[in-house]
Amino acid sequence: MAYVITDTCLKDVLCADACPTDCIHPKKDEPEFETATQMYVDPEGCIDCGACVAVCPSNSMFPAEEVPGDKTDFVEKNAKFYVH
Ligand code: SF4
Ligand code: SF4
């Protein structure tokens, strides 16, 4: 089960800097960063370490099974960002 980022994300990239597997994007030097409304976790790369949650100032990250009921669609939205 991967972690999931939801719509209160501030795009401050703190989680991406803390992630040991580099599975949070887009980063500031990537073309999608300008237009993205939030950051996303690649479920294939996430190892459930929780390092991202510890640094998030807006409480936007949840383990997939703990995403609040009104935000469960973000599980799919995170995964979709990595399907091209
Ligand atoms: S739980 Fe760990 S591996 Fe998964 S997105 Fe957060 S920092 Fe990265
Ligand atoms: S640390 Fe939180 S607010 Fe910052 S980019 Fe990551 S999910 Fe968004």
pLDDT per position in the chain (84 positions), as tens?
Answer: 899 999 999 999 999 999 999 999 999 999 999 999 999 999 999 999 999 999 999 999 999 999 999 999 999 999 999 997
Domains and CATH numbers, the chain: 3-80 (3.30.70.20)
Q: What is the pLDDT of residue 84?
A: 75
At a CB cut-off of 8 Å and minimum separation 6, what does 78 contact?
2, 4, 5, 40, 41, 42, 43
**Cβ 44 under 6 angstroms from ligand 1:** no
CA 83 / ligand 1 centre spacing (Å): 19
CA 72 / ligand 2 centre spacing (Å): 18
Q: What is the pLDDT of residue 18?
A: 98
pTM across the whole model: 0.97
